[in-house]
Amino acid sequence: MKEPEISIGIVSAQKIHFTLNAHFLAKGETVDGPQVVAFEDGGILWNGNVYRELTFTPLENEASFSLYDVTIGINFHWERQETQVFRGTLKLVVDEGKIVAINLLPAEDYLISVISSEMNSASSPEFLKAHAVISRSWLLAQIEKRKAMSQQPADFFSFIKTETEYIRWYDREDHSIFDVCADDHCQRYQGITKATSPAVEEAVKTTKGQVLMHKGSICDARFSKCCGGVSEEFNYCWEDKKHTYLSAVRDTGSNEPIPDLSDEQTIQQWIRTSPPSFCNTKDTHILSQILNNYDRETTDFYRWNVRYTQEELAELIRKNTKTDYGQILDLIPMERGKSGRISRLKIVGTNKTLIIGKELEIRRTLSESHLFSSAFVVDKGQEENGAPAWFELTGAGWGHGVGLCQIGAAVMGEQGYNYNEILLHYYRGAEIRKLY
């Protein structure tokens, strides 16, 4: 197998401003400098002509281009716009009434940027190597999945809707014109905007072509910031499919059993205490390796707490679901995964009662952006005018919790575990193989 070329969707807009920082070839012309394209008459208006698609191919080895107003952290608490710089080819296509900017470049170059974007490049070498392998595995698994889906009829639905339930999961099936997007929905990719370090390049080079495999297939190697002490299983967050290598793992170095966190009494004790785990750390040296400045705007994630007045919660749910539940009477977990993350939550209101899921739908419903995780327990205030005066959520972890726990893996790297040990701790039953 040869190293593949990857297509990454960067930005989608009616008008895109960018600068070619070197000489590029487009429509038979050599071009450089500031450029503007606009959506017009169903195509891309550039230099007075309308095209169906445009490709800017670099004519120099270190050529780069700058894209303006790229949104990062979409719908997350750190959402903002940046100017970003990329190497490789820039391709512009039309999709759903907008122009989409796509970056084409070799897989290993993409990985160097992703690892720099996902975390601080000063992380321990073994953690960086582990991340290189899972990022590569996830990427190649998504490309295989996209190819398979393109050959199948479009009958995929990522939601179940009845009178009593709305269960939805968010994966990357909506990316049909490129392999992956540049934001946290896939893997955070910022081109060469952030300087890449020799340590990151060495980690990618050392593990070149290495992926996690299970029964002859590339693993869909998911990861999140902090599992909260136990990692989650795939089927509680996405489609009802079991992946053996994405089973629940107690995030410690011993073989202690996983408590039954689907039991409400057990989860109450688990979340209201702070049991030892690799990811239970406040070590700023380790956290600064993983969390960029905008991630460190968050300080509590192993155990966290959020409180809403009745008015705040009712308005939040009304705004996020576009449904008026009236006053909120209760939030009742109907199903939890192995990590304690709620996959089905009943919202009881004076006007409406509905069970929602899965974990990301719950997190989006109960927060201005994203609740840290759906592993939480609920406390209610005294009743006023027939409804609780306030609701308090006490929770564990940050993210979906499936696969590798980044903070836990960073701690393992600091404690002397090598990248094979880190990977096989989180992906049980998988093996590491070199594909190219």
pLDDT tens-digit series, residues 319-330: 999 999 999 999
pLDDT for 196 equals 77
Q: Is the pLDDT score of 394 beyond 90?
A: yes
Report residue 331's pLDDT band, with 50, 70 and 90 as the boundaries.
very high
What percent of the chain is modeled with pLDDT above 70? 94
Angstrom distance (rounded) from CA 227 to CA 82: 29
CA-derived radius of gyration, the chain: 23
pLDDT for 336 equals 98
pLDDT for 399 equals 95
Angstrom distance (rounded) from CA 239 to CA 165: 16
Report residue 140's pLDDT band, with 50, 70 and 90 as the boundaries.
very high
Least confident span in 31-35, 151-155, 233-237? 151-155
Q: Is the pLDDT score of 75 beyond 70?
A: no
Report residue 296's pLDDT band, with 50, 70 and 90 as the boundaries.
low
The model's pLDDT over 216-273, given as tens digits with 9 standing for 90+, comes to: 999 999 999 999 999 999 999 999 999 999 999 999 999 889 999 999 999 999 999 9
Residue range 20-49: average pLDDT?
97
Identify the CA nearest to 250 among candidates 220, 218, 280, 277.
Answer: 277
pLDDT for 78 equals 59
Angstrom distance (rounded) from CA 213 to CA 195: 31
Q: Is the pLDDT score of 155 beyond 70?
A: no
Q: Is the pLDDT score of 84 beyond 60?
A: yes
Instruction: Check if the beta carbon of residue 12 is closer than 8 Å to that of residue 100.
Output: yes
> 196: helix, coil or strand?
coil
- Strand 29-40 to 53-58 pairing: unpaired
Residue range 361-369: average pLDDT?
94
Q: Which residues contact 168 (CB under 8 A, 6 or more apart)?
A: 158, 159, 160, 357, 358, 361
pLDDT for 175 equals 75
Helices marked H in 151-292 — which ranges?
A: 198-206, 264-271, 284-290
Tokens of residue 436, six digits: 């190219």
Query: Helices 107-118 & 125-150, crossing angle to 10 degrees?
Result: 120
Query: Does the global pTM surpass 0.85?
Result: yes
pLDDT for 275 equals 97
What percent of the chain is modeled with pLDDT above 90? 77
Can you give the three-state secondary structure of 332-398, one letter per residue? EEEEECCCCCEEEEEEEECCCEEEEECHHHHHHHCCCCCCCCCCEEEEECCEECCEECEEEEEEECE
Report residue 298's pLDDT band, with 50, 70 and 90 as the boundaries.
low
pLDDT for 159 equals 83
pLDDT for 395 equals 98
Q: Is the pLDDT score of 379 beyond 90?
A: yes
**Average pLDDT of the chain to the nearest whole number:** 92
The model's pLDDT over 49-59, given as tens digits with 9 standing for 90+, comes to: 999 999 999 99
Q: Please, how many CA atoms are within 13 Å of residue 145, restricted to the half-sphere of its CB?
A: 20
DSSP code at position 311: H
Least confident span in 43-52, 197-206, 295-304? 295-304
* 167-171-176-179 Cα dihedral, nearest 10 degrees: 180
Residue range 156-171: average pLDDT?
84
Provide the CA 241 distance to its chain's centre, in angstroms.
19
Provide the CA 50 distance to its chain's centre, in angstroms.
35
Residue range 37-65: average pLDDT?
97
Q: Please, how many CA atoms are within 13 Å of residue 176, restricted to the half-sphere of its CB?
A: 10
Identify the CA nearest to 86 among candidates 54, 62, 53, 64.
Answer: 64
> 413: helix, coil or strand?
helix
Angstrom distance (rounded) from CA 286 to CA 414: 8
pLDDT for 185 equals 72
Residue 136 vs residues 91, 302, 402, 436: alpha-carbon distances, Å: 23, 27, 17, 12
Residue 176 vs residues 54, 135, 142, 146: alpha-carbon distances, Å: 18, 20, 11, 7
Which helix (H) or strand (E) element contains residue 145?
Answer: helix 125-150
Residue 414 vs residues 123, 135, 287, 302, 431: alpha-carbon distances, Å: 9, 20, 11, 18, 23
pLDDT for 157 equals 63
Q: Tokens 């990857």 identify what position?
A: 6
Q: Is the pLDDT score of 74 beyond 80?
A: no
Which helix (H) or strand (E) element contains residue 419?
Answer: helix 419-426
The model's pLDDT over 98-122, given as tens digits with 9 standing for 90+, comes to: 999 999 999 999 999 988 877 776 7
Report residue 184's pLDDT band, with 50, 70 and 90 as the boundaries.
confident
The model's pLDDT over 398-427, given as tens digits with 9 standing for 90+, comes to: 999 999 999 999 999 999 999 999 999 999
